[in-house]
Amino acid sequence: MKLAVEQLAASYGNIEALHGISLSCEGGEMVAVIGSNGAGKSTALNCICGVVPASGGEVLLDGRDISDEPPHKIAAMGIAQVPEGRRVFPRLTVLENLEMGAYIVRDKNLFAERLEFVHALFPRLAERSRQNAGDLSGGEQQMLAIGRALMRNPKFLLLDEPSLGLAPVVVESIFDIIADLVRSSEVGIILVEQNAAIALSIASRGYVLENGRITLEAPAQELLRDDKVKAAYIGG
């Protein structure tokens, strides 16, 4: 299974946000996309999910162009996004949020399997099952947002700034779990993240997105050693 974008372009009115970018992710692989604020990282994920219409190029799922499909059909094809800022349903319980993530899962046995999987990955969610999501800590809400996306058993998971607003010790814990997820399953992950050091430390490959253009593509460890990347995004 492969997810790819080829020469993908997107605009907001007269402002072009993506200028023909190309990137790919295989099942069971984690790819990091790093860049500064306004580089187009979130727009790229939203285009893949159909939330923002592409003005050019293709989004390919195993070679099939899905760029004209509506978001709910793209979700049903196995692409799930964890949006920036988590966006849990604050007045619903943790369990109800997870049920919302599984809205396309009709098989009760599969639902039970996915819930067991998510609880094993994030035991805290099982402990907080009847608690309202709005009462959770930021880290717990991020776990819930990821768990909610995993409930639909996606082939690809798009993570948008999962470290945003979290304490360093919580970020480390979340990223350890994300790395374990890749090692233990066939899900492919595209990770958009401003914390370039931690993103590249767990990814296999990386892309640098600047002003709507891919300026570098390389194995993640190579990008970690690149002087320009270190100066711009890591320091040191």
Q: pLDDT tens digits for 102-124?
A: 887 777 888 899 999 999 999 99
What is the predicted pLDDT for the residue at 23?
97
What is the predicted pLDDT for the residue at 211?
95
What is the predicted pLDDT for the residue at 110?
82
Pairwise pLDDT comparison (143 vs 235), residue with the higher score: 143
- Tell me how far CA of residue 44 lies from CA of 28, 58, 63, 179, in angstroms: 20, 12, 18, 22
- Both tokens of 216, joined, read 């570098």
26 beta partners:
2
User: Is residue 235 pLDDT above 90, yes or no?
Assistant: no
Neighbouring CB atoms inside 10 A of 212's CB total 22
Neighbouring CB atoms inside 10 A of 153's CB total 17
Contact criterion met (CB below 8 Å) for 212 and 18: yes
What is the predicted pLDDT for the residue at 202?
94
Q: Pick from 29, 77, 17, 23: which is nearest to 179 by CA?
A: 29
Share of the chain above pLDDT 90, in %: 81
What is the predicted pLDDT for the residue at 185?
86
Q: What's the rounded Cα separation, in Å, for the pair 14 and 120?
A: 46
| pLDDT tens figures, 206-218 | 999 999 999 999 9
Task: Determine the average pLDDT of the residues in 174-197.
Answer: 91
What sign does the dihedral 89-134-188-154 (CA atoms) show? negative
What is the predicted pLDDT for the residue at 37?
87
Task: Determine the average pLDDT of the residues in 165-192.
Answer: 91
6-10-14-15 Cα dihedral, nearest 10 degrees: -100
Q: Which residue ranges make up each domain of the chain?
A: 30-50+68-234
User: Is residue 98 pLDDT above 60, yes or no?
Assistant: yes
Average pLDDT, rounded, for the chain: 93
User: Is residue 236 pLDDT above 70, yes or no?
Assistant: no
What is the predicted pLDDT for the residue at 183?
87
Task: Determine the average pLDDT of the residues in 82-93.
Answer: 91
Amino acid at 180: D
- Both tokens of 125, joined, read 């969610």
| pLDDT tens figures, 33-64 | 999 988 999 999 999 999 999 999 999 999 99
Contact criterion met (CB below 8 Å) for 80 and 131: no
What sign does the dihedral 24-25-31-32 (CA atoms) show? positive
User: Is residue 129 pLDDT above 80, yes or no?
Assistant: yes
Share of the chain above pLDDT 70, in %: 100
| CATH pick for 30-50+68-234 out of 1.10.8.80, 1.10.940.10, 3.40.50.300, 3.50.50.60 | 3.40.50.300
Q: Pairing relation of β-strands 188-192 and 156-160?
A: parallel
